Amino acid sequence: MQALDQAALFLIVLAPLAGSLLAMFMSRDRPKDAWYFAILVAAVTLALSIYIFVRYDYTAGGYQLSRSFGWLGAPLDINLSLGVDGISAPLVLLNGIILMGGVLIAQTIKHRTRDFFVLLLALGAGVFGVFIVRDLFFLFFFYELAVLPMYLLIGVWGSSTDFGTFLRTKEYGAMKLMLYLVAGSVLIWIGILALYLEAGQQGVSTFDMAKLSDLARDGGLDPTVQRWIFPLFMIGFGVLAGLWPFHTWSPDGHVAAPTSVSMLHAGVLMKLGAYGIIRVGMDLTPAGAEFWMPVLIGLGTVNVLYGAISAMSQGDLKYVIGYSSVSHMGYVLMGIATLHPIGVAGAVLQMFSHGIMTALFFVLVGAIYDRAHIRDSHILNGLFKRMGVVSFCFAIAGLASLGLPGFSGFIAEFMVFTGAFQSDVRLGFVPMALLAGGLGVVGAAITAVYILRLLARTFFGEADRQWAHLTDASPVEKGVAGAFVLILVVVGVWPEPFLRVINVSVATLLEAF
């Protein structure tokens, strides 16, 4: 136990990274082996992530399982500091789950299989890294590492789609996604440099987030400077979180991406952005965060409504889910911006919940696309008859996404609203949080509109003869989808294990405000 505690965080990054490197040396001609190997690696990381989550002692709070390895000395003072708190622990678990699901679903990848897993595991490693490091340099390092494989994952294994009026090639989707995310990281990078400089002015020349956080809490950072720095983080990380109007990479990326990649993309990658806003933006520049929160909460509201309204008129299933992700990430941003313990905790829970839910969606859309070679919800119909399990799970995912009680999304969104209604974030005389909460509820209703329309149109009703050949989900798909459904329900009915972990760290986080 002691040894594992010491090594757990290090291992959870090392395992997928080493897996990725080792997979490079596997034979190209035996794709099954690569798949088995990736499953093995993903299983190890999943086990580790569960261990980390369970091991996190919520009564003690703070950062746990911490380790620190020196990397570069003064004046840069970069250390590989690891540690999880109650905000990152659920996200680590989320990544473990989604990575496992993604690897399993990638069974259908037949082309350059080995390379696919090399990149997928590297992506997983990057995401784990972001969630567990306590150093700005390494946070940025892993952040970029998570972005890097996306280009090839989408570009090589993705699909191009002709929508009649416009064409979305996989090259376009991949390139846009990559450029967009790196553009975001440009801002983050500049923000990190500015923060480093400002801290250096105060004699704390370091990238160590613990020290920077302490400095910020002691009032060591000039609030004016913080106000300049925070928007860099807000927009930079916001790009990854799908912050309006920097969201278009996300739906287009989904349309181009293969199933597993969509799962990781919407499931965890977008969470990195929101996590970054919390961990870097709010924790290190609290005064700036406080100043900008009315704007963020406004943008989050726009996200919710804009994403939902856009989703309403989309025909392509992946576009629907893509825009719904934009909408749901809006709740995360909104929750964060309430600066209220319930709202922020709700946002974190929403990250987890949406991760699972949207991954489930993509598993199902992938299953449909693999069989029908089409994703247009106006052409597909009556799928329930041919693909009972897929349709059933899709309905469940749909109900979860419109915030039906009994599923995790409800708890999370409800907490976000609750937080928003008690938060006093305001812009001048305008009670932004209250407005956001109110419009957020409306957004949930719009979600119901497009989800139910989609269900009715595509899954229920008579099936055309052309869909007679469709078969139901494969055992692997059933297993993954079933597991996701189970998680949605369990968290929805009994969120306590998550909330008690999240709450303790959210409370610490909000002490700065």
Partner 1 sequence: MELAWLIPVLSFIAFPIIVFWGKRLPGGGAPLAIGAIAAGFALFWVALLGFLAATPDTEHCLTDAATGTLACNFQRAWFNAGLPGLPDSVALSWGMTIDPLALAMLGMVTLVALMVQIYSLGYMKGDPHFGWYYACHALFAAAMLTLVLADSFLLLYVAWELVGACSYLLIGFWHERPAAREAAKKAFIVTRLGDVGLLLGILLLWREVGSFSMTAAFELAHSGEMSHGVATASSLLMLLGAMGKSAQFPFHVWLPDAMEGPTPVSALIHAATMVAAGVYLVARAFPIFQYSGDALMAVAIVGLVTALMASTIALTSTDLKRILAYSTISHLGLMMLSLGAGGYTAALFHLLAHGFSKALLFLGAGSVLHSTEQQDIRHMGGLRKAMPLTALLFSLGAMSLGGIPILAGFWSKDEVLSAVSHGLHPVFIVLALVTALLSALYMARAMFVVFFGPSPESEHHDHPVHDAPLAMAAPMVLLGVLAAGFGLISFNWPGSFGGIGSFLFYHEPEGFHFTWWLGILSTILAVAAFAFGYLVYVRKSLSLEGFRRSFAPAIRVVERKYYVDELYQWVVDRVVMVFSRFIALFDRAVVNDVLVNGPANSARRLGVAMRLHVTGHVYSYALVMALGAAALAILWWWRVA
Partner 2 sequence: MPGLTENLLLLTPEFALTGLALLVLAVDLFLPESRKGWLALISIVGLLGLAVLSVVMLQGREETLYGGLLAVDRFALVFKVFFLGLGVLIILSSVDFVRKHLSHPGEFYGILLLSILGMNFMAQARELLTAYIALELLSFSLYVLTAYARSNPKSNEAGLKYIIIGAFSSALLLYGLSMVYSSLGTTSFAAIRDALASGAGAGPTLWVGLALLIVGLGFKLAAVPFHMWAPDVYEGASLPVTAYLAIGSKAAAFALVLRLFAEGIVPVVDIWSRWQIIVAVMAAVTMLVGNLVALAQRNLKRLMAYSSIGHVGFLLAGIAALGPGDTLVANGIILYLVGYAVTSIVVFAALIAFFNHTGQEEIADLAGLADRQPFLAAALAIGMFSLSGLPIFAGFTIKFYLFTAVARAGFLWLAALAVFASFISLYYYLQVIRQMYIQPAPGAPPEQSHGHAAEPPPDSNAHGAAPDAASAIPSPGWRLALVLGLGLAGVFWLGVYPAPLVAIIEGASRAILPGG
Preceding peptide of 75 cis, ω within 30°: yes
Closest CB to partner 1 among residues 434, 476: 434
* Binders in 435-454 for partner 1, by CB under 8 A: 437-438, 441-442, 444-445, 448-449, 452-453
Among 66, 159, 474, 508, binds partner 2 (CB under 8 A): 159
* Binders in 75-114 for partner 2, by CB under 8 A: 75-76, 108-112
Residue pair 196/207 in contact by the 8 Å Cβ criterion: yes
Q: Is residue 115 part of the contact set for partner 2 (CB under 8 A)?
A: yes
The size of the chain, in residues, is 513
394 binds, among partner 1, partner 2, none (CB under 5 to 8 A by kind): none
245 binds, among partner 1, partner 2, none (CB under 5 to 8 A by kind): partner 1
Q: Is residue 145 part of the contact set for partner 2 (CB under 8 A)?
A: yes
Q: How many residues bind partner 2 (CB under 8 A)?
A: 64
Torsion angles phi and psi, residue 86, rounded to 5: -70, -15
Residue 303 CA to residue 300 CA, distance in Å, equals: 5
Residue 223 CA to residue 255 CA, distance in Å, equals: 42
Closest CB to partner 2 among residues 254, 328: 254
Among 433, 181, 449, which residue's Cα sits nearest to residue 310? 449
Q: What long-range pairs does 202-205 form, CB within 8 A, spacing at least 24?
A: 205/74, 205/75, 205/76, 205/77
171 binds, among partner 1, partner 2, none (CB under 5 to 8 A by kind): partner 2
Among 201, 202, 313, 471, binds partner 1 (CB under 8 A): 313
Binding mask 319-358 for partner 2 (x = CB under 8 A): ----------------------------------------
* Binders in 176-195 for partner 1, by CB under 8 A: 176, 179-180
Q: How far is CA 474 from the centre of its chain?
A: 26
Residue 321 CA to residue 312 CA, distance in Å, equals: 10
Q: Is residue 22 part of the contact set for partner 2 (CB under 8 A)?
A: no
Q: Is residue 465 part of the contact set for partner 2 (CB under 8 A)?
A: no
Q: Which residue stretches of 62-208 are H helix? A: 88-105, 113-132, 136-157, 170-201
Q: Is residue 169 part of the contact set for partner 1 (CB under 8 A)?
A: no
The continuous run of DSSP H or E covering 168 comes out as strand 167-168
DSSP-derived letter for residue 246 is: S
384 binds, among partner 2, partner 1, none (CB under 5 to 8 A by kind): partner 1
Instruction: Return the sign of the alpha-carbon dihedral for residues 79, 85, 91, 95.
Output: positive
Q: How many residues bind partner 1 (CB under 8 A)?
A: 62
Amino acid at 393: C
CB of 36 to partner 1, least distance (A): 30
180 binds, among partner 2, partner 1, none (CB under 5 to 8 A by kind): partner 1
Burial class (CB in 10 A: 0-12, 13-18, 19+), 314: buried
What value does the CA radius of gyration of the chain take, rounded to a whole number of Å?
22
Q: Is residue 456 part of the contact set for partner 2 (CB under 8 A)?
A: no
Q: Is residue 472 part of the contact set for partner 2 (CB under 8 A)?
A: no
CB of 109 to partner 2, least distance (A): 6
Closest CB to partner 1 among residues 213, 447: 447
* Binders in 353-382 for partner 2, by CB under 8 A: 369-370, 372-376, 379
Residue 356 CA to residue 180 CA, distance in Å, equals: 24
CB of 422 to partner 1, least distance (A): 6
Instruction: Return the sign of the alpha-carbon dihedral for residues 365, 368, 374, 379.
Output: negative
Instruction: Return the sign of the alpha-carbon dihedral for residues 193, 292, 89, 484.
Output: negative
Closest CB to partner 2 among residues 14, 490: 14
386 binds, among partner 1, partner 2, none (CB under 5 to 8 A by kind): none
Residue 78 CA to residue 459 CA, distance in Å, equals: 53
CB of 289 to partner 2, least distance (A): 21
Preceding peptide of 90 cis, ω within 30°: no
Residue 494 CA to residue 110 CA, distance in Å, equals: 39
CB atoms near residue 102 (< 10 Å): 30
Among 351, 367, 384, which residue's Cα sits nearest to residue 482? 367
Closest CB to partner 1 among residues 56, 421: 421
Closest CB to partner 1 among residues 452, 476: 452
DSSP-derived letter for residue 425 is: -
- Chain contacts with partner 2 (rule: CB under 8 A): 17, 24, 28, 70-73, 75-76, 108-112, 115, 137, 140-142, 144-145, 147-148, 151-152, 155-157, 159-164, 167, 169-171, 174-175, 178-179, 182-183, 185-186, 189-190, 193-194, 196-197, 200, 205, 315-316, 369-370, 372-376, 379
- Chain contacts with partner 1 (rule: CB under 8 A): 166, 176, 179-180, 245, 247-249, 252, 306, 309-310, 312-314, 340-342, 345-346, 382, 384-385, 399, 402-406, 410-411, 414-415, 417-418, 421-422, 434, 437-438, 441-442, 444-445, 448-449, 452-453, 455-456, 460-462, 494-496, 499-500, 503-504, 506-507
